[in-house]
Amino acid sequence: MAPLTAEIGKTPLDSGWLAARSTEVQFTGTQLTTTHPPTGPSSPWMEALVPGTVLATLVKNKVVPDPFYGLENEAIIDIADAGREYYTFWFFTTFQCDLSANQHCDLNFRGINYSAEVHLNGHRMVLPKGMFRRHSLNVTDILHPDRSNLLAVLVHPPDHPGKIPPQGGQGGDHEIGKDVATQYVEGWDWMAPIRDRNTGIWDEVSISVTGPVKVIDPHLVSSFFDNYKRVYLHTTIELENKSAWIAECSLNIQVTTEVEESICLVEHLQTQHVSIPARSRLQYTFPPLFFYKPHLWWPNGMGKQSLYNVAIIVDVKGYGESDSWQQHFGFRKIESHIDGATGGRLFKVNGEPIFIRGGNWILSDGLLRLSKKRYSTDIKFHADMNFNMIRCWGGGLTERPEFYYYCDYYGILVWQEFWITGDVDGRGDPVSNPNGPLDHDLFLFCARDTVKLLRNHPSLALWVGGNEQIPPGDINAALKDYLRLHPDFESVDENGKPPEDFSQKLIDPSQYLDGTRIYIPGSLWDGFADGNGGFTDGPYEIQNPEDFFKDDYYKYGFNPEVGSVGMPVAATIRATMPPEGRQIPFFKKLPDGYVEEVPNPIWAYHKYIPYSKPSKVHDQIQLYGTPEDLDDFCFKAQLVNYIQYRALLEGWTSRMWSKYTGVLIWKTQNPWTGLRGQFYDHLLDQTAGFYGCRCAAEPIHVQLNLATYFIEVINTSSEELSDVAIEASVWDLEGTCPYYKVHECPSVPPKKVLPVVEMKYPKSTNPKPVYFLLLKLYKKSNYGILSRNFYWLHLSGGDYKLLEPYKKRKIPLKITSEVFNEGSTYKIQMLVQNTSKRTDSKLLLLKHGSTASQRDVNINTESLETNAGTGKEQEVGLFKRIYRCLAGKNDGLRVAEINGHDVGIAFFLHFSVHASKREHREGEDTRILPVHYSDNYFSLVPGEAMPIRISFEVPPGVSPRITLHGWNYHEQIVHDAV
């Protein structure tokens, strides 16, 4: 391999690894790293995934089947049956590092599960236990200066991997709770067991080269004054002098902000001098840096995510630059208190209340195949749904800095829990140990180290001791002490009561372990659920959509977990299950008229949750007619997904501040190919629920209260809406508009819900049994659309079965598209038009499409109306009005027309992107994933046009094909690059 030059800084060791089962390796660690190193991937050695786990490596090498496909997980030997030695593995690699005089090298492991022996060039070092702790080994004196360094790591599984009872359950037999490790690995009601319990070098491995002095865990804190006009940046660092003499150091701190791409403005540059005794550590606090009117960091939907770059450089007299460190940092202040009106915890960011709408998160992949690319997609998906918080559930990971980086970038607040869950730490079947892990000191060491790792991220909003449980008394008391707030960050409650204790006021806040975020002992305490630890989150099943709006739906102010269905599209089922797993559920009619869904065994194994709740909720898929096959079932499931999650969030938002302060949906995604509680599947294809959330959680929103039938306007922004109006139009299955009204709203106060008017339809005479409602909130001054919301509805006690013959209606569409591509990145701009003729000339505003979110390309809200006969020149002008120019190769405008003679709604349109292949195997999954859509699963009324933006990356040598599917459209190719 190429030599690693001894430049100051960190170098990841993330390639060239080999792995082998320890019982199949005949040499010792000393021999492996001196006389008998493996020479390549020949038995028993195989290419290893590092960072990664043993099971991930075995899957990569096809030694075991894919545990996420069908029932293949059952074919993999569980650690409880094979024994811990079966999943004890050697990992081996080489690296080069030629140090110069007075340089030092550390070998760093950011996460190993669960303990390890490290052998480097014949020297043995033992790493202590604990999944959530960093290890840094000074290997300066044992490196080979002029040849490869041989590194072998023997990784042992958790001490208490536990057994999986026949009935499964939450956390298996709960033995895993005795260790400081992830607890989901014994299986849950949404997850199959992970056979190796995540054994492996699961996080980053690196070497870091420094001069005589090393920088350790700087802590950045901002404190505000004068209503956020003045801010001070506080910085405390730890410095280690590895040399045998006193080090005279110049400490330089520089703060820059990017004003344009690749152009940075230096906001501050300060130099301090310090002496560090030989072979010792010293904590140093910089004088605070003053900023006037800084750019603030705001959560998604509240403003920009302004980030500064803070760099610290240590120069040592007689040596030069010894070490450096940098971090993106956002100026913001997060506060919270228990709201007197609702009893829920109310969060404020930079003094502004924020209504929390977000989701629960386990981790992106159950085999810990973690990557920056995957994290980028995951977090952008959450921002695209207009979410503002992710809760990192206690049975999963303490998430990685890369996860937090993207949360910083996209403005997603993070609720981070420690490694306690009620099921594994105090309840369950069998009843689990309430005293948490066996080694409390280890838990607390890992907790302190985790705080140091993550505390500089502006997205990190609060620490929580555990899921549905409080940590054992001594751990909880220690965490409260570690995470006590500095007086500058103690919240003032709604009555303006000041903090009581000013005794610590003079201590610089950066000298605290954290000091800036609250610690809550458990997810059901202190303003969450009933606030007293009662099991009052949930429910977790399908609901009648109107029930979310009712007074008695949920009694408490902040629900940390409410869950429901999550069926993916049919292509995902085909890609993740054999033919026998593609059978749709059997619908069993019960004596009371309700239907019970009986899924096939593979769906049951993948934790399928039904779309019916006998005695309470009629089957929501059968409302559209009994599905014929997998495609029909999955498409109807998307209709339900959209309605279910839009109603959930609209119901909560309808009671913003009067009853609720926030809600977190259980859960946003699955770390495997599960069939419940997700807005995008493990392959990264979105369900329609994704777009139901995106609609419902937009910062300014118009909605129909399904319980009262009042039209409501939601303004979660800090600005008053003035001079706006609502257009409400009802459409029937014949394409006519039996109801049309415009309702003026002179003003909508900030952070308020305004009920505007009760919908008179369907109370009018002769209402249609199935109808469509289109709501548009617009600016009267320029007709710019602020919010668009489309409903399909039926009369009370009815169903949607009349939509079944509607599939045969041929509604004409015109799709104008333009593609920009740069390398493997594609950005496609489309204008989708329902060209069926309108039947009512008074519908003046229907020419407008939907608005774009903050992160979409700019859209001009001038008229998007075009006639079916518009020429090329006019279309080019139209695109110039809608889109700003994008960099990259432009293939020009293309027009696809779908002919039809009917007038009506183009219903539930859905784009997808595929690899363009003239020939492919039957059943082959040709989708290109992930894809970011500005909207999907949308509908257009006659004469309406909507801009859609699509972006994605393609593998080398692949050309994309864009296809359209809809309720009344079979698969249509609308853009083919071939």
Confidence of residue 920 (pLDDT cuts 50, 70, 90): low
Q: Are 21 and 47 in contact (CB under 8 A)?
A: no
The CATH class, in words, for 698-789 is: mainly beta
- Reported as a single tens digit per residue, the pLDDT across 421-447 is 999 998 888 889 889 999 999 999 999
The CATH class, in words, for 808-839+886-977 is: mainly beta
Percentage above 90 pLDDT, the chain = 86
- Reported as a single tens digit per residue, the pLDDT across 1-55 is 433 447 899 999 999 999 999 999 999 999 999 999 999 999 999 999 999 999 9
The SS3 assignment for 954 reads coil
Confidence of residue 851 (pLDDT cuts 50, 70, 90): very low
- Reported as a single tens digit per residue, the pLDDT across 582-620 is 999 999 999 999 999 999 999 999 999 999 999 999 999
pLDDT for 491 equals 73
- Residue 215 pLDDT greater than 70, yes or no: yes
- Reported as a single tens digit per residue, the pLDDT across 632-655 is 999 999 999 999 999 999 999 999
Confidence of residue 927 (pLDDT cuts 50, 70, 90): very high
- Residue 869 pLDDT greater than 50, yes or no: no
pLDDT for 789 equals 98
- Residue 787 pLDDT greater than 80, yes or no: yes
Distance CA 679, CA 664 (A): 13
pLDDT for 921 equals 73
Round the average pLDDT of the chain to a whole number and report it: 92
pTM for the whole thing? Answer: 0.94
DSSP annotation of 286 reads: P
Catalytic residues, by residue number, are 468, 561
Q: How far is CA 470 from CA 370, 429, 432, 474, 475, in A?
A: 29, 19, 14, 11, 9
The reply to whether 213-329 and 808-839+886-977 are identical in fold is yes
DSSP sequence for 248-262: EEEEEEEEEEEEETT
> Does CATH place domain 334-494+509-583+629-697 in 3.50.50.60?
no
Comparing CA positions, the residue from 538, 478, 491, 535 lying closest to residue 665 is: 538
- Reported as a single tens digit per residue, the pLDDT across 290-311 is 999 999 999 999 999 999 999 9
pLDDT for 879 equals 46
Token pair in block for residue 527: 């303003």
Q: Are 289 and 402 in contact (CB under 8 A)?
A: no
**Cα-based torsion angle of the residue sequence 436, 440, 444, 447 in order, rounded to the nearest 10 degrees:** -30
Token pair in block for residue 29: 């660690």
Q: Look at the alpha carbons of 380, 381, 383, 388 in this order and tell me if their dihedral is positive or negative.
A: negative
Q: Supply φ then ψ for residue 399, to 5 degrees.
A: -70, 160
Give the pLDDT mean for 183-201. 97
Token pair in block for residue 849: 């499409």
Domain boundaries, the chain: 9-210, 213-329, 334-494+509-583+629-697, 698-789, 808-839+886-977
Give 213-329's CATH code, choosing from 2.40.128.120, 3.30.70.2740, 2.60.40.10, 3.40.50.720.
Answer: 2.60.40.10
DSSP annotation of 503 reads: T
H/E element holding 690?
helix 688-696
The SS3 assignment for 170 reads coil
Q: Are 835 and 858 in contact (CB under 8 A)?
A: no
Confidence of residue 862 (pLDDT cuts 50, 70, 90): very low
- Give the strand pairing for 700-704 and 308-316: unpaired
Confidence of residue 852 (pLDDT cuts 50, 70, 90): very low
Token pair in block for residue 745: 């709203």
Confidence of residue 780 (pLDDT cuts 50, 70, 90): very high
Comparing CA positions, the residue from 332, 333, 334, 249 lying closest to residue 286 is: 249
Give 9-210's CATH code, choosing from 2.40.50.1020, 1.10.3720.10, 3.10.180.10, 2.60.120.260.
Answer: 2.60.120.260
pLDDT for 866 equals 33
Comparing CA positions, the residue from 134, 113, 78, 55 lying closest to residue 369 is: 55
- Reported as a single tens digit per residue, the pLDDT across 390-431 is 999 999 999 999 999 999 999 999 999 999 999 999 888 888
Where do runs of H (alpha helix) occur along 327-427? Answer: 372-384, 401-410
Q: Are 444 and 476 in contact (CB under 8 A)?
A: no
- Residue 878 pLDDT greater than 50, yes or no: no
Confidence of residue 172 (pLDDT cuts 50, 70, 90): very high
DSSP sequence for 563-582: E------HHHHHHHS-GGGG
Token pair in block for residue 867: 């006639």
- Residue 532 pLDDT greater than 90, yes or no: yes
Distance CA 793, CA 773 (A): 8
Token pair in block for residue 924: 């082959």
Give the pLDDT mean for 954-969. 93
Distance of CA 216 to the CA centre of its chain: 29
- Residue 494 pLDDT greater than 70, yes or no: no
Annotate 575-588 with b (16+ C-beta within 10 A) or e (fewer).
Answer: bbbeeebbbbbebe
pLDDT for 747 equals 92
pLDDT for 977 equals 66
